[in-house]
Structures are given as C-alpha cells and as structure tokens.
A and B are shown apart, each in its own frame.
Chain A
C-alpha cells in the first residue's frame, strides 16, 4: 500500500533532514511513506501501526477520522511512530509546503523519541512486535471465536490504565536473595548472660516486648500478599489470576502495548512542543519559500490554536520551550534573578549568556511533562499565556473560569498530569478476608471516582479474578467499599 517516495518528496526530505541535522537534532533513520487519506486514517486509527489485532475500537476511531475528513472538519497532518527506524506517514494530497512542515515536525519527534529518557526503555522494534501481537490474537480468535476473544480484550482495555507508569525506572521489588533458602525463625532472646541476676538489668522487659512486637509485625508483613501494595495491577493478575493460557497471552499483550504507549502520553506537551519548535525554526529560518509563507502561517497557526476549555499541548509546549530559551539566553534564572523584586530591572534583565539552545537540548533529554511544568512554568509565563483553572458550576449548570492565580493553575495542571491524569489504584490484598478475594485501594486525593464506571470496571476485574473483587475508595470524605461478587454489585460504608 505504501508507495516509494517520489523524487520531489525525496529531494524535500534530504533538504529538511540536512537542516535538522545542522541544528543538532539526533534521530534514528526516518522512513517516510506516502498514503492516501483513507489509508492514513486507517493507520492513525491503529495508533500509527499498519498491522494491529482486530478490534472494534479501531473501527470507532476510523469512523471519527473518516467523518472528520469527509466533512472537512479535521485532517491528520503527521503521524510518526517511535521505532528504529522511525516511521512517518505523509498524506498524498498535501501540498509541498505542508509536506515540508510535516517532515520538519517529524524530525523533531524523531529526535525526542531517541533522546528523551522516558523512551529509553521502550521497544524500538515495536513495528514488528505489534505485527506479532496481531498474529497471536488472530490465532486465538481462530481457535476460540471472535466474540470470546473480543470480550476479553474489552475487559482488559477496561483495566489498561492500571499499570505502574514509572515502573521501567524504579526497582519496586527487591530481587529474590540468591539461594533463597527459608530463613530460620527469629526469636527474641535479648543479650546472653550467664549471670542470672544481671538478666533483668541487661534486658528490661519493655525492650524485649517492643522487640517481640517488631518481629511479629515483620512476620505479618511477610504473610501479606502482595507484600507491598502493587501498582501494576495487570502484572499482579498475570501472576496470580486463574487465567487460561490464551487469556494470559491476550492480557500480557495488552499490558505490553499499554507500557509502550505510556511515555507518549506522559510527554505529550514536551514532545509536541519540541516538534513544533523545530518545524517552526526550520521552516522560518531555512526551508520556507516566499510563495509558501501564507499557507505555512495558516497551518502553523491552526496547529497552535487554542480554545478556552482545552489546553493545546502543541501551544503550551512550544511557548514553554521558547520561554526557556529566552530565559537561558538572557540569564533570567538563578538566585539573583529570583530574589530581584524590582519589576523594571527584571524586565530589562539580560546577561547575554546565550545558553538557550543548549539548555533546550538538556531539557528535552531529562524531563517529562510533570517535571517540565513543575520546573519551568513560571508565574510570568502563566500570566502571559492567560492560563486559568475552570470548573463545573452546579448552580449555573455550565463550565466557568474559577481562578487565575498562578499557584492554583500550576497545581491543577500538575495534578492532571501526575500518573497520566489517572487515579492511583493498587492491589493491597490478594487474599482479602482470607477468602481469596481481591482488594484494591484507591489513593483518594480529593477527587472522587466516576462511580458508575468504577462498578463496571470492577465487573471486568472480577471476571478475570474469578472471585469477588473489592475496591476501597472514598466518596466525598466517607470511606466506601465497592464490591462485586460475580453476580451483583454492593456498596457499603467503611472506615478508611
């Protein structure tokens, strides 16, 4: 289906690639493929991969993209996947200036994929891996029927966000000790002495009691299952749920794909901002011809357009990078600058450091969206970009602007980005009530779960665990235990 790059496009690619390398961008080989709009919509529905397992939700995404395109509402400009070599797709019908913009944008993404630390552990041969997944799930469908497999995929997708988003970087579990022989049971003995009259003095009763208590607790902990609360609920299910081999395979495939896509969600602002920064730099400083200016400006501003109720990651990202570049060029950072109270002096601050570009390359390597916003979103920036917090007004039954105070804006934004904007839910007990029930706990941070969805999700979980499942959460400030026993849902008040 993909056609070889025609000569004109090949020339453009070589030109743009030259500029990108000239600016110091560092990427894997990028392979561009030219697709018709329906093919592009298809690949986009598949998350960028030409070959995925059959599932209706890809069809749903396709319907949206196809309708959007046919009614002239939206159009996909670029699609690039994190792989080595990096694959990117061009829309056949685009004008040359669009293709140049897309290529410049794609090289930005390519550089980000290769260098940002969040992607260091992703599978760079995902193209092949996805095709393997597709084959394996198709095989399951051939054997067990499409209904059965699709139902399982639906249920697994319900649980897809229950992974440990930082797992690739943190050693959560101690490795099993070499040898691993059962330790001898420890006893509380106190200091040994052969002088009976000294015993009470060397080992006061309260010390012994405290020591006994500590040991008991430790033993209790070892008996708990899992030992530590487990954030990677899918991993826990893979290890302990009574799954059929083919169910195990499907679940592990979906978990792997969730981990592959996770860094892209966690660096959306940085990644899109970086690519936009570079397409704008390359186009305006090098690649743009006079006759293309208007079309370029039109499409560039379309990409960066904002609506009041949604943050555009392209816009926020590129503006933050430009702000950082400016601050490091002028030396507007550090103790001296922070402590300067004189507004005039601050405004005119320019130490002529010229470290902006260098800083940008550093930032794109070592940060993700959360740390990026936390570190670089300044009060001045928030005011300049007119950021605000909005919320739903029950009284007026509509969305309204709640606050423009910097601290609140930043906190809200960080909260939205932390853990991918998902509630933090972990397995705390795999043998709850000593009846083999599963107990999950939601770390409530002020916002309630959507309860009807939580019940449905619990149902999906129960069908995999095959025993009753429970979720401890809060509604307002009251502790609530949601339970599903395979037939019906229950809800009761508990002390948190």
Chain B
C-alpha cells in the first residue's frame, strides 16, 4: 500500500527540482555541493526549504554548547548547525548530509539536469578484470578468515552472554562468529576519454572565480567519469604563456599579468596531437576565463586554432566565462560569432555560484 506521505514527498521533490512553485526556489538550502571527499564518496547536503520567518540571524545569535576546549578554541566544521541552539520542535532547519558514492552522485546529476547519455566513440577494447578484497562475509575459506573481526564477534558474544571471564580471558569463536574477507571482480578501466582543463589565471581571476571553476569542473568530471570507464585529466593554466600543471596547482595558483588565450589553445592542441589521437580518444577541452583577452589579433588566432585544428579532434569544446569584479570580457562574443554555430562548441556565462547549475547543463546537455 502506498503511503499517504508519498504525495507530499513527490511535491517536495518537484519543488526542489524547480518544476513547480518557483517562488520557493530561493529558499532552498543547497549548501556547498561538494563536501569532504574520502575515497570514492562525497557528502552532499540534502536540500531543505527554509520557510522564512521573523527570526534571528544565527551567526549573530551564537549559543550554548557543551564539552572540552579553552576559550577561543575552534568548534570544528559542522559542529554548529543553524537552528540547533533553539529548543525547536524538530522542524528540519539544517541540511542533513549524506554520503553517496560518485557513481550515485552522477546518476542524481544526470537525472536532475536531464542529461543525455554520451555515445562514446573509439574502439571496443577488451577490458580485463582484477580481484579486489572489498568486504566481509560470514562464509568463506579458512585461508581468508579475518582474525580481528572474528575475535571481536566472539568477544562481544561472550560478554553479552556472560561467559567471559576477565581473570582468564579465553575466547572461543563459534561457527557464527567467523568472518571472512570477500572480494569483488573489478574491471580494469580502459582509458578512452581525456579532459583538458584550461584556466585563465591572469590577475583578474580571483578566488571566487576559481571556486566556481572548481565546483563546475568537479561536476563535469563526475558526470564524464560515470560515462566512461577511465578518464585522464590534464590541467593547463595560462596568462600570457601557458603551461601544464597538476590538479592542486591548477586550482590554487595565483598568477598575474596579461592574458593570451591562444597560448593555452596552442599547448592544448600540441598535447592532443601528441597523446590523444581522435580516432581512439574522446577528448573534452574545457576552458574557463573571464574573457578579457589581450588583443583582437590574439582572439583571431584562437578562432583559427579552434576552427582548423581543435574542433575536428574533440568531442566537445566548452568555454565558460566567469564574471569577475572587473566585468566580463568580450571573448565569449567573439567565440559566438566565430564558431558558435558548430555543434561541438558550448558556451556558457557563469555569473555566480547560482549559475553553475545552468552552466553544467549548457556544457553537458548536448550529449557529446
């Protein structure tokens, strides 16, 4: 029998997805989309809708807590939940965080943004498998017995049933106590997609702009990973010259100086030519900038590289123009006029964090 609540539940989900009641959308508390990333799991906050009331700003209010620590010591992140200081009646005012695997996250993303699945190109390589010990089972061969777990089970049972004697601590595992390692067959991924991230790190790209790039590239990464079995990522930064860096540097470098976008496109094209032959690879080239290119000549050069060499080699060329405090540049307009008609090109203007949502759809909505 379906529960009565299903109707309310469906309605809530429809509101969160923006299908109905647009007026409530601004009260949805999404929080930062990426929480901590441990292994293959991320925490994402569940969306809640906060009905506005006359209320105090939580940060102005503070509260009373309990525990160790000197005056001035810091309460860890997540220790204070908005609204937790009030003796409320359990109305969910805080975002609950859940851990989900990246695969799950990608399918949520796909469903949420109604993204089409990508049709990969390239050869069907035979994929090898590998055995990995990933879990615990109650049956198995003795050679795989997990001594510590078995011992713990036995100890717990003996204490609970009162047969444990601390003076003579003898632990005898029974059949039910035994625990064994269990394994899973994992296909070895076939590297058949490559993402080349390019970012403008000239003086006008501030921390906030980089934060936007970081969040957006995380989601694009997550989606593409769910579509391909293996993925290679390369990171290029540029101001007036371009160079390849590792992921960490990519998101944290702060350079300064002018902007010559063509330098990045040239480098990107060299990498593609050398390592990612278009016949075997699905190549994604994504570029983020504030759109303030050095000169019209350079822009012409960029368009030339794009049209003649890069576009034939890639699945998708994405350009995201992040709005910076100095305003937004001209480059996206030039691209739109130059190569905007090509179906491999997607262009997106990202005004602020809120716009990331729509921008991801711009990039990935083409199903390429």
Contact = CB atoms under 8 A, between A and B. Distances in A.
A60 B81 contact: no
B70 interface: yes
B72 A400 contact: yes
B38 interface: no
Contacts of B98: 67-68, 71, 73
17 contacts: A45-B5, A57-B51, A161-B54, A162-B54, A308-B66, A311-B84, A313-B87, A392-B59, A400-B73, A400-B75, A401-B70, A404-B71, A413-B64, A421-B85, A422-B53, A442-B54, A453-B54
A402 interface: yes
Interface string B34-73: 0000000000001011011111111111111111111111
B57 to A, nearest CB: 4
Contacts of A454: 52, 54
Contact of B64 (A150, A159, A388, A448): A388
B161 interface: yes
Given A266-B87, A309-B79, A447-B56, A61 B92 contact: yes
Nearest to A264: B89
A268 B87 contact: yes
Nearest to A154: B51
A60 B67 contact: no
Interface in B80-129: 80-81, 84-89, 91-92, 96, 98-99
B49 A57 contact: yes
B87 A420 contact: yes
B33 interface: no
A63 interface: yes
A423 interface: yes
B140 to A, nearest CB: 24
A396 B54 contact: no
B85 A386 contact: no
A94 interface: no
Interface of B: 1, 3-5, 7-13, 15, 21, 24, 27, 46, 48-49, 51-77, 79-81, 84-89, 91-92, 96, 98-99, 156, 159-162
Contacts of B85: 310-311, 416, 421
B196 to A, nearest CB: 34
B44 to A, nearest CB: 11
B162 A385 contact: no
A145 to B, nearest CB: 13
Contact of B5 (A58, A162, A396): A58
Interface in A44-66: 45-47, 51, 54-64
Contact of B53 (A67, A161, A268, A442): A161
A345 B71 CA distance: 30
User: Which interface residue of B12, B53, B57 has the most chain A CB atoms within 10 A?
Assistant: B53
A409 B84 CA distance: 16
Contacts of B46: 63-64, 67
A400 B63 contact: no
Contact of A154 (B24, B75, B88): B24
Contacts of A175: none
B64 A311 contact: yes
A352 B55 CA distance: 47
Contacts of B73: 400-401
B64 A447 contact: no
Interface residues of A, number: 95
A309 B84 contact: yes
Contacts, number: 243
B292 to A, nearest CB: 30
A442 B81 CA distance: 25
A396 B77 CA distance: 13
A423 B56 contact: yes
Contacts of B99: 71
Q: Top 10 A-B pairs ranked by shortest CB distance?
A: A59-B8, A309-B80, A59-B12, A309-B79, A391-B62, A456-B52, A421-B86, A59-B9, A392-B59, A310-B84
Contacts of A369: 87
A285 interface: no
Interface of A: 1, 38-39, 41-42, 45-47, 51, 54-64, 67-68, 71, 73, 147, 150-151, 154, 157-162, 261, 264-266, 268-269, 290-291, 293-295, 306-313, 315-316, 369, 385-392, 396, 398-404, 409, 412-413, 416-417, 420-423, 425, 442, 447-454, 456-457, 460, 471
B67 A457 contact: no
Contacts of B69: 308, 388, 401
Given A421-B56, A421-B85, 12 more contacts: A58-B8, A60-B49, A62-B8, A291-B162, A308-B67, A309-B63, A388-B71, A401-B65, A401-B72, A403-B71, A412-B64, A416-B87
Given A59-B8, A59-B10, A266-B87, A308 B56 contact: no
Contacts of B5: 41-42, 45-46, 58-59, 62
Contact of A388 (B9, B13, B65, B86): B65
A438 to B, nearest CB: 14
B3 A390 contact: no
A450 B55 contact: yes
A154 B15 CA distance: 13
A385 B7 CA distance: 45
A417 B10 CA distance: 35
B62 A308 contact: no
Nearest to A422: B55
B115 to A, nearest CB: 22
Given A310-B80, A450-B56, A399 B8 contact: no
A449 B54 contact: yes
Nearest to A452: B52
B19 to A, nearest CB: 12
B228 to A, nearest CB: 27
A399 B74 contact: yes
A390 B92 contact: no
Contacts of A60: 12, 48-49, 92
B56 A449 contact: yes
Contacts of A425: 54
Contact of B66 (A161, A385, A399): A385
A151 B159 CA distance: 57
Nearest to B14: A56
Contacts of B64: 311, 387-390, 409, 412-413, 416
- The CB with the most chain B CB atoms within 10 A, among A45, A404, A460, is that of A45
Given A161-B53, A385-B66, A309 B75 contact: yes
Contact of B63 (A151, A416, A456): A416
B54 A422 contact: yes
A262 to B, nearest CB: 8
Nearest to A60: B12
A63 B162 CA distance: 41
